[in-house]
Amino acid sequence: MGANLGRLFGSALLFWLGLTLLLPTLPLYLDEVLGASDSQIGWVIGAFALGMLLFREPVGRLTDERGRKLGIQIGLIVLATAPLGYLWLEGIPALLVLRTYHGLSVAAFATGYLALVTDLAPAAQRGQVLGYMTLAQPVGVALGPAIGGFLADQGQYELIFSLSALLGGLSWVVCTWGVREPERERVPASRSASWGLLLTPRLRTPALVFLLVGLLFGSLQIFIPLFIKRQGIPMNPGLFYTAVAVASFSVRLALGQAADRWGRGRLITVSLGCYWLAMVTLWWAQGVPWLLLAGGFEGIGAGLLIPGMAALIADRSHPYERGRSFGLCLGGFDLGIALAGPILGNLAAQLGLREVFGGLAGVALLALGVYVLWIGKNPRDSLAFAFRNRPDAYRIT
């Protein structure tokens, strides 16, 4: 199992590295090369999340019916092809279609990856294994934006898009010939959707929390490079995402085996508090140290939230529905990112980017309130789970 997980981790590292090369560079490319407005940039970046949202549920169902590895491979094929489209397309409508297709990469890869890791991990060590295996994302984010930002400073946008596609192809090779999927119970193929799972109390609140966090994440993805540029701050935008990734990596590595003992409830509570601190810091930011501090807070938040919520969703799902459960809950995250572009892009044009970050501090506080009051069967159970590590009332496996 160790070698299998190692190869799966390597495939994930290449995926996130290829994907995040575009994180600080695409908004600048749209602004500097294509001359897009703030609103158009918001729509184009947000279309990526629309693709994730559209494909999460069918891909989640596919991974339950046909296998986790197939979902991962679909995501990698998209990553290997979509970046090449930026070399040829210039019109905003065409870029909206391309970004929607590009969003399938994360919808398929992340859903299949989390479900496969959960299948491979012993139940008693689920939080620990998920914590270690999701380290591929912050490592990729630490390197990808820094490399992409450096190349963008040289105007090497064609190289950035080509390198992103190449890394996607290499990841597909590693996954296809290096990763084995264990035998498990599968559900029969069905044409019906699985949206009814979101109405169940065990998944409703995690999806809502992901929706609010998606608003925060989407806003940072879109506006940080523009904020740095317009405030005249002498900083490579990729360094913000590097600070996020280093903090995320460090907190997951430090937590290690304590993840399962400390409890999902406390991890998620602290993570949402860190997201609030990140937004407040950006609201007050005056220079490079403020931005790096905000990136550190966001990194700690993400480093605790992703493995904590993944373990929580796995605990609350039957093995035969894990793909759909991950897909639907992460669909809330996708919806938040999709809304961040068009809604906050217009607000940024009217109020300014700094004021947008102030409003997002309120969104982070709302996410924390929803979680600590609604994650259990009633507010009392929710508070006990969120702060005192009491048992999860909705745990199945």
CA distances to 67, 300, 378 from 158, rounded to whole Å, are 35, 33, 53
Per-residue pLDDT of the chain (397 residues; tens, 9 = 90+): 578 889 999 999 999 999 999 887 888 888 888 888 877 887 888 788 888 888 988 898 899 888 899 999 999 999 999 999 998 887 889 999 999 999 999 999 999 999 999 888 887 787 788 888 888 988 887 788 889 988 988 889 999 999 999 999 999 999 999 888 887 666 555 544 566 788 888 999 999 999 999 999 888 877 888 889 888 898 888 789 889 988 988 888 877 666 667 778 999 999 999 999 999 999 999 899 999 999 999 999 998 998 889 889 989 998 888 888 988 898 888 888 878 877 887 787 788 888 999 999 999 999 999 999 999 999 999 999 999 888 898 998 6
Residues 6+ apart with CB under 8 A from 340: 42, 46, 49, 214, 215, 216, 217, 218, 219, 221, 222
Q: Where do the domains of the chain lie, and which CATH numbers do they carry?
A: 2-176+198-388 (1.20.1250.20)
Cα–Cα distance, 28 to 153 (Å, whole number): 10
Contacts of 384 (CB under 8 A, 6+ apart): 376, 390
**What pLDDT score was predicted for residue 260?**
67
> According to the model, what pLDDT value does residue 257 have?
60
Query: Cα dihedral sign for 145, 137, 256, 6?
Result: negative
